Amino acid sequence: MNPQPKKLRICFMGTAAFALPTLKAVEVAEEVVAVVTQPDRPQGRGREVAPPPVKAHALDLGLPIMQPERVKDPLFLAELAELRPELIVVAAFGQILPPAILDLPPLGCVNVHPSLLPKYRGSAPFQWAIIKGETRTGVSVYRMDQGMDTGPLLLTREVEIAEAETAEELGKRLAEVGGELVIEAIKGLKQGTLKPRPQDEQGASYAPLFKKADGLIPWQEDAAQIRNRIRGMQPWPVAYTIWQGKQIKIYRGRIGDGIGTPGEIISLDRGIEVANGKGSIFIEELQMEGGKRIEWQEFCRGHRLTRGERLG
């Protein structure tokens, strides 16, 4: 009988739900000696302190958990070094790793990033891909250096963006691809068959983290741009507008060819049709401040919208 190949000692670093498929895949294939994640934070409307998704899953698996406030903390660095990880796998972690961590494992640190690097480096890559009207994106696994998603590429896989897909839906698909791709990368690193290749800096772009204000819809944009913003801003901050001094979140809309002043309600027949800089948007699903997410017909029954009113 052939002996089973030795499992790598891997430290996993991740926080958000996007990282879960990667953690699950690595835990099955290799030896996870520790899971490093962000500290518990207040979450939700009640702002109750809760563990991040990665910690909750690591608890279910019975894996050792570390939650440093800062990964540069000397005590944490000493504890990490004692684990003697051969590889560190990172996905949606949320802190920048110092050289003391990057240089620790013999096989380095690899990150799972949901874009086709060097496009859309940063914290909201697939969200901005949708907002920018991209029809394809993907996942990159790369060896980390001290830059922001600038390290040499190990593997990439392209993924098509569905025509009406939201960032929330796309993110779940990319997360699954990330779990598959990182296992391929680990196999290649173990066998010595995977050669990192530098990124092409000429094609680089940046995808910054959203602010709440980014969700405000600029009605003077073209209808296609506004629809992409609505799709790309879910689940946070969610595209929104202002009506009678209150915020209305918009979750779904389709493109029309109506004409009017940007932000003007021009029809209430097949949706709440709002004029844009070019064309119009039929708002189909929305949520009034303090209310619940509902279809446009129910919203119109409960609120006195009129043609000619302006949003925003």
Residues 45-67: pLDDT tens digits? 778 889 999 999 999 999 999 99
Residues of the chain with CATH 3.10.25.10: 212-302
Residue 6: pLDDT over 90:
no
| Confidence (pLDDT) at 3 | 59
| Confidence (pLDDT) at 177 | 98
Percent share of the chain, pLDDT over 70: 99
**Contact (CB, 8 A) for 300 and 276:** no
What angle (nearest 5°) sits at the alpha carbon of residue 143, between those of residues 137 and 144? 95
DSSP, residue by residue, 266-301: EE-SSSEEEE-SBSEEEEEEEEETTS-EEEHHHHHH
Residue 44: pLDDT over 80:
no
- Spell out a b/e string for 271-286, using b for 16 or more CB atoms within 10 Å of the CB, else e: bbbbbbeebbbbbbbb
Residues of the chain with CATH 3.40.50.170: 9-203
| Confidence (pLDDT) at 46 | 74
Residue 2: pLDDT over 60:
no
Residues 102-159: pLDDT tens digits? 999 999 999 999 999 999 999 999 999 999 999 999 999 999 999 999 999 999 999 9
Residues 187-212: pLDDT tens digits? 999 999 999 999 999 999 999 999 99
Kindly state the average pLDDT of the residues 79-99: 97
Confidence of residue 4 (pLDDT cuts 50, 70, 90): low
**Contact (CB, 8 A) for 309 and 254:** no
* Four-way CATH pick for 212-302: 3.10.25.10, 3.40.50.300, 3.30.390.10, 1.20.1250.20: 3.10.25.10
CATH topology of domain 9-203: Rossmann fold (3.40.50)
Residues 230-273: pLDDT tens digits? 999 999 999 999 999 999 999 999 999 999 999 999 999 999 99
Q: Tokens in use for 201?
A: 């800096």
